[in-house]
């Protein structure tokens, strides 16, 4: 997945990404047998587990740092790193039958890395309830918490996620890229710092070919033709 | 508007501010023709656009830093910097017919500065949906997202916003000022740092004339008489 | 209360904490007569008030830093530091008759320290409405804001809070401790910093006895037996 994201990041023909799954689950996170498979190593598996966890955290940050917008299409359970995957996407569409959980606490392995993404999507009490109880949350509750954007009829989630991705893919790829990048950068700044940084981003944006085209098209009441199209 | 805010900040007789608009729109943000009017300059308008954007970002921060509380009264569409204006106010009342959008993505000019304010009001997935799709959000959804405080009947929004502003204006101006200032300062701090800073603010507050009067009035079961009244 | 929390933090037999109150109010915060009782001191009570406020802020942070999870059981009004107490707990269950308010503004003493906890639980406009108006918020609205996790029938709140605490208490105490600690630490970091820190926490967690037991039990489809049990 990390490799695919690296390829996508460099591929200008890809304008939006839908992350979906086949089978009953969206993602149940790590394979527990893989995680514990190297307990017999001299270091009890520390090096191996560090490697796996670092790869996972890197992949999640690749999604956040991807120039293209990402939409999760959640058809089944999204637990642990699977729930983190949903939280890491820019947008998420879920089936009414989808469930979300961070159940690591039940197996003695707190969903610590998932909580990094989860706690940046929902308020503290909601995140803590999921993390401390480990209990599944319905699609309706996930919508109320702000973890997902839309709940659709069972079976419609992939079609809806693709439609949403296509809708965003019609926009200027350059504009979406600088917007998404700026969003996550400024989120970590003070207000004054954010305004300083983002004002500069917006000036550069206005001077881009796509803004010239887009504003011109708007004023002339015609459809814009983006550069990378 | 920036000049008006500077005057208001220095005017102790002003105890709360309502930001409202005449006409069908609350605010559609920047004038696109103004933004692009200096493309013929030697620098393609960079200096001019930087100046306009900086003025706009400064004005939004003046609202946040204003000693008086601000209430947006949103009767129509609030888009781009107009949506940012609503997000920058301390409180917001909207007509059931109001709409909120950050549609810059549709003209190749991402709503980057609006997102600074928006993303400090609503959760990530909600902000991202508005920013990436550009689609309008209803007053009901804006209420659910936390972007506004109240939805009222069409035509009642200004009266309700004024009533809310007057309600807060009855409080001690000194107390509201230090409270508002402290709110935005501590929001950018760690928990320990916030408690250290705010504990000191509260000690100073308790020693103020208005706290002495307010607590006395409460204990004596009478109405307080604030200093700047 | 601070002393009790210090004892609890060191007592491995305590696995979860419910904070509840007898009488009609959950907590109305500081005793105003105590706060103002030393106005006759040479420093007008500054040293004394600083001491009281520091003790209060310390106690609230003890709850956040407590290794055990805390659940507020709110049966009546939770105002000022009482509302802060609810916000400082990891989880909160409230009676349908409970009310939440930060009414300091009405007595000239802004709820500045309560806002540190409140503003880390709810969105800005919600926090500002409570802080600037001082008005009580119903349990239903507090649930919508994300300040509490559950609203239950009047009189059922303590039983439900205890049930929730017991449910979490069945988990591995070691796992809950590192999870809770990590949660509040990473909340103050950038995304990259949070992932670096928490990935290491998770590696250590996996190598703990409780994770070995928990994962083993899960694979073998039996109940886990935690170390500190």
List, as one string, the DSSP characters of C133-192.
H---EEHHHHHHHTS-SEEE-TT-HHHHHHHHHHHHHTS-HHHHHHHHHHHHHHTTS-HH
H or E stretch including A141?
helix A139-145
Q: Cβ of B187 and C64 within 8 Å?
A: no
Residue C124 has its nearest CB partner, among B121, B203, B206, at: B121
Q: Does B148 touch chain C (CB under 8 A)?
A: yes
- A68-81: pLDDT as tens digits: 999 999 999 999 99
pLDDT: which is higher, C34 or B93: B93
Mean pLDDT of B123-129: 98
Q: Cβ of A91 and B132 within 8 Å?
A: yes
Q: Cβ of C214 and A112 within 8 Å?
A: no
Q: Does B55 touch chain C (CB under 8 A)?
A: no
Mean pLDDT of B106-135: 98
Given a cut of 90, whether residue A203 has pLDDT beyond it is: yes
Q: Cβ of B194 and C116 within 8 Å?
A: yes
- The token duo for C216 is 């083993």
Q: Does C148 touch chain A (CB under 8 A)?
A: yes
- B199-217: pLDDT as tens digits: 999 999 999 999 999 999 9
Determine the distance in angstroms separating the CA of C93 from the nearest CA of chain B, rounded to an integer: 21
Q: Cβ of B199 and C53 within 8 Å?
A: yes
Backbone φ, ψ for residue C189 (5° rounding)? -110, 165
Is the distance from CB of B110 to CB of A202 less than 8 angstroms?
yes
Question: What 8-state DSSP symbol labels residue C85?
Answer: H
Chain A CA closest to residue B38: A207
Full pLDDT tens readout for chain C, 229 residues: 999 999 999 999 999 999 999 999 999 999 988 888 888 999 999 999 999 999 999 999 999 999 999 999 999 999 999 999 999 999 999 999 999 999 999 999 999 999 999 999 999 999 999 999 999 999 999 999 999 999 999 999 999 999 999 999 999 999 999 999 999 999 999 999 999 999 999 999 999 999 999 999 999 999 999 997 6
* Torsion-angle region of C110 (φ positive above 0: left; ψ -120 to 50: alpha; else: beta): beta
Give me the domains of chain B, ranges plus CATH numbers: 2-169 (3.90.226.10), 173-219 (1.10.12.10)
Q: How far is CA B207 from CA A163, B200, B213, B225, C118, in A?
A: 60, 11, 10, 16, 24
| Summary mean pLDDT of chain A | 96
Chain B CA closest to residue A122: B123
Given a cut of 90, whether residue A26 has pLDDT beyond it is: yes
| Confidence (pLDDT) at A42 | 94
Given a cut of 80, whether residue A220 has pLDDT beyond it is: yes
Determine the distance in angstroms separating the CA of A219 from the nearest CA of chain C, rounded to an integer: 35
All residues of chain A having their beta carbon less than 8 Å from the beta carbon of residue B127 are: 183
| Confidence (pLDDT) at B229 | 62
| Confidence (pLDDT) at B37 | 82
Is the distance from CB of A100 to CB of A130 less than 8 angstroms?
yes
Q: Cβ of C35 and B146 within 8 Å?
A: no
Q: Cβ of C115 and B147 within 8 Å?
A: no
Which 3-state string (H, E, C) describes A155-224? CCHHHHHHHHHHHHHCCCHHHHHHHHHHHHHHCCCCHHHHHHHHHHHHHHHHCCHHHHHHHHHHHCCCCC
All residues of chain B having their beta carbon less than 8 Å from the beta carbon of residue A205 are: 108-110, 112
What does the alpha-carbon distance between residue A46 and residue A43 come to, in Å, rounded to a whole number? Answer: 6
Nearest to C91 by CA among C21, C191, C28, C163: C163
Nearest to A140 by CA among A90, A74, A69, A70: A74
| Confidence (pLDDT) at C229 | 62
Residue B186 has its nearest CB partner, among C116, C128, C133, at: C116
Q: Which residues contact B77 (CB under 8 A, 6 or more apart)?
A: B24, B25, B26, B28, B98, B99, B100, B101, B136
Q: How far is CA C153 from CA A135, B119, C96, C157, C160, in A?
A: 22, 35, 6, 7, 10
Given a cut of 80, whether residue A229 has pLDDT beyond it is: no
Bridge partners for A18 per DSSP:
A71
Q: Which residues contact A127 (CB under 8 A, 6 or more apart)?
A: A115, A118, A119, C183
| Confidence (pLDDT) at A37 | 82
Q: What is the DSSP annotation of B7-52?
A: HHHH-TT---EEE--SSS-SB--S-HHHHHTTTTSTTTTHHHHHHH
Bridge partners for B77 per DSSP:
B99
Question: Helices C191-206 and C173-186 sit at what angle, rounded to 10 degrees?
Answer: 170
- ipTM value for the complex: 0.97
- C7-39: pLDDT as tens digits: 999 999 999 999 999 999 999 999 988 888 888
Q: Does B180 touch chain C (CB under 8 A)?
A: yes
Q: Which residues contact A163 (CB under 8 A, 6 or more apart)?
A: none
Q: Please give the angle made by the CA atoms of A147, B194 and A190, to the nearest 5 degrees.
A: 60
Q: Which residues contact B82 (CB under 8 A, 6 or more apart)?
A: B25, B26, B27, B28, B29
What does the alpha-carbon distance between residue A177 and residue A226 come to, in Å, rounded to a whole number? Answer: 13
Mean pLDDT of A169-184: 97
Give B34's pLDDT tier (boundaries 50, 70, 90).
confident
Give B47's pLDDT tier (boundaries 50, 70, 90).
very high
Nearest to A166 by CA among A2, A26, A16, A12: A16
Q: Please give the angle made by the CA atoms of C151, C154 and C160, to the nearest 5 degrees.
A: 55
Determine the distance in angstroms separating the CA of C132 from the nearest CA of chain A, rounded to an integer: 21
Q: Cβ of A182 and B125 within 8 Å?
A: no
Is the distance from CB of B164 to CB of C10 less than 8 angstroms?
no
- A8-18: pLDDT as tens digits: 999 999 999 99
Which of helix, strand or coil describes residue A13?
coil
| Confidence (pLDDT) at A35 | 81
Q: Cβ of C116 and B208 within 8 Å?
A: no
Test the C interface: residue of B124, B127, B146, B219 with most C CBs within 10 Å: B146
What does the alpha-carbon distance between residue A86 and residue A80 come to, in Å, rounded to a whole number? Answer: 10
All residues of chain A having their beta carbon less than 8 Å from the beta carbon of residue B39 are: 212
| Confidence (pLDDT) at A36 | 80
């Amino acid at each position: 997945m990390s490799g695919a994201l690296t390829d996508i990041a460099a591929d200008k023909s890809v304008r939006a990404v839908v992350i979906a799954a086949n089978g009953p689950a969206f993602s149940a996170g790590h394979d527990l047998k893989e995680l514990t498979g190297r307990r017999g190593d001299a270091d009890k598996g520390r090096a191996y587990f560090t490697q796996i966890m670092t790869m996972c955290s890197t992949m999640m940050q690749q999604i956040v740092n991807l120039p293209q917008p990402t939409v999760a299409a959640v058809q089944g359970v999204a637990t642990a790193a699977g729930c983190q995957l949903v939280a890491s996407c820019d947008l998420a569409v879920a089936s009414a039958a989808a469930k979300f959980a961070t159940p690591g606490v039940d197996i003695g392995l707190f969903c610590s890395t998932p909580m990094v993404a989860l706690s940046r999507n929902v308020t503290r009490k909601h995140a803590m309830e999921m993390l401390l109880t480990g209990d599944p949350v319905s699609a309706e509750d996930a919508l109320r918490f702000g973890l997902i954007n839309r709940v659709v009829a069972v079976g419609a989630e992939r079609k809806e996620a693709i439609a949403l991705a296509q809708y965003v893919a019609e926009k200027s790829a350059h504009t979406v890229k600088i917007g998404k990048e700026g969003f996550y950068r400024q989120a970590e700044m003070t207000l004054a710092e954010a305004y300083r940084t983002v004002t500069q981003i917006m000036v550069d944006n206005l001077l881009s070919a796509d803004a010239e085209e887009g504003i011109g098209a708007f004023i002339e009441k015609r459809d814009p033709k983006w550069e990378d199209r």
